[in-house]
Structure 1
Amino acid sequence: MPAPVGPDPAPPPADLPVDAARVDALCAALVPEPGRELEDFVTTVGAAPLDQGWDNVLWPVGTVRGEPVVLRVVRRASAVPLLGREILVLRHLADVAEQLPMRIPTPLATTDHATLVPWIPGRTAGEVEEGSRVGVAWSVARMLARVHSLPAPRVDPNPVRGAPLATRTEAFAGDLERSGVDAVTRRRARGGWDRGLGATTWDRPALLMHGDPHPGNVVVPPAGTVREAALIDWGDATIGDPASDLGALLLHDPSDSMLRAYRAEATWAGIADEACWSALVDRSWAWGVRLALSLLTAYPRGHRLGRAGQRLLDACR
């Protein structure tokens, strides 16, 4: 029997509160994306959001050509630049979206604080049955390999994603202390982190990265549908060392075989170099440890993301 799923932690307070009135006003201010028209947008603002994260709210607002759409609305001022970053990267990927192994959100129209996108139904990868988890992870591995191998747009570096591991040492130490893991897990986590710190740093051109491809940002379609899973929430997209994306991949399935699946699909310059790859593996596991500890400090052990973090720490080499 699966462990019970604990409640999601309460998000930080919103300094840009989202209600039906604000959503209605934002819908009226939408500007269609280049090449798109909104004549078929039938506006029906719902009474309540469909979902809410730390930075954004998804609010049902009607249909476009009969398909349900939602408004992704910023709820914190600090997330406004993230929405801009997300839109920039999704525009960059639009021309190759049909060739990607996973779906991505499709901006239909935007304002400064919101974007109109088709609703993607399903469950997160953290909620799927254990027997489906590895299959979803393989899809994420292929998706990251493809994204990392594409030309990168002009996007600012992210200080907490794709950055050198050494810049996250203080955050690692703090999360290790707060996580409450036992002594054996603590030693395992410290060992994985230290191996990554000791590995050769990334010295190749910065790669395009999703930034936060953990199980909560992968939507798996309902059973019986033929539509593929989707990688959502591109607000942390960045350029840099792909190890942090691969650390998040290990949250889906903490195994070297998953990293090898990624390598088999990636085509960026240097992927075939054994020394480069070996160092990347060590840094990826270190990032995985860092992200796992972060999840354990934010979510209960019984929560789907808390379980993902614990599973990675248990598998850490």
Structure 2
Amino acid sequence: MKNTCLLVFLLCAQVAFGQTAKHIKIPATKCSIIPPDGFVAATAFSGFQSAATGASIMVNELPGPYEPVADGFTAEALRSRGMTLVKKQVIDFNGSKATLVQLTQPANGVIYHKQILVFGDSKNTVLVNGIYPEASKNIEPQIKDAILSIVYNNEQKENPLEAATFTIDTKESEFQLIRNMSGTLIYSTDGKIPTEKPTLLVGNSIAKVSPPNQKLYAEERLKKLPRGEQSIIKEINPIRIDNVNGYEIVANGKTKDDKTELVYQVMLFNENGDYYIMIGQAKEDFDKYLESFRKITKTFKRKQEHY
């Protein structure tokens, strides 16, 4: 208990001995960082990116204790997700311990390198993910310096809507906004994550996509959800929201204890190669929550600067 209290104190106090005038606040988080030269604030996620190098630094704050998250970065677990562990070490970080992970991952014919800093306490964990393609491997030292410059300030106000590229109206529903994670707004009916109650995720793509068959792409995206390969599609309909075309899918999914759940997915594809995705899941009152999901998704609007 004493160690936990100390760690919480250290996280809160980092701003006193870690933050400088060069630090830039990361929208929708309690973190600030000194980005490498040439990096600008990302528009699709909380972090920074460089068009010249194809590199990015993404920050996620997760509900849950630090140790299980850090322990989960094993060679076997990463291999099952198509990644190769290069190095993992525990380091001294702002008066406490953190984990620094290096790995590689192929994507679309390109090898990407990742440096991931993991730190936190008994309640929350921060992941700072520096990503760069093999062709820009020379930027590796700058990426490492940047992720190690991060400062967590528990007193810093965070607004999950700040980094979103869109708006969505849930005021007339039970859904409560929990957080913004990688550009995705997370809602639940009981204000908790994780939860057994109905949830709603609303987000945007980070990378550009131009699927030749958008309907098929939406179906394949549904299958990539946890246990999505077991989902049975009941309806798939063309849909248009905020002048953007896409597809609505209603499916029966399977929970981890093999019970049937409602899965509702809407994907919208704009002319710039971006997509927006809304995923609702409920284990109860299917008709009620299907109506709620449909009503909420119709309120989706892109922010003007992202047209």
The answer to whether TM tops 0.5 is no
> What is the TM-score with the length of structure 1 in the denominator?
0.30
Q: RCO greater where, 1 or 2, for CA within 8 Å and sep 6 or more?
A: 1
> What is the TM-score with the length of structure 2 in the denominator?
0.30
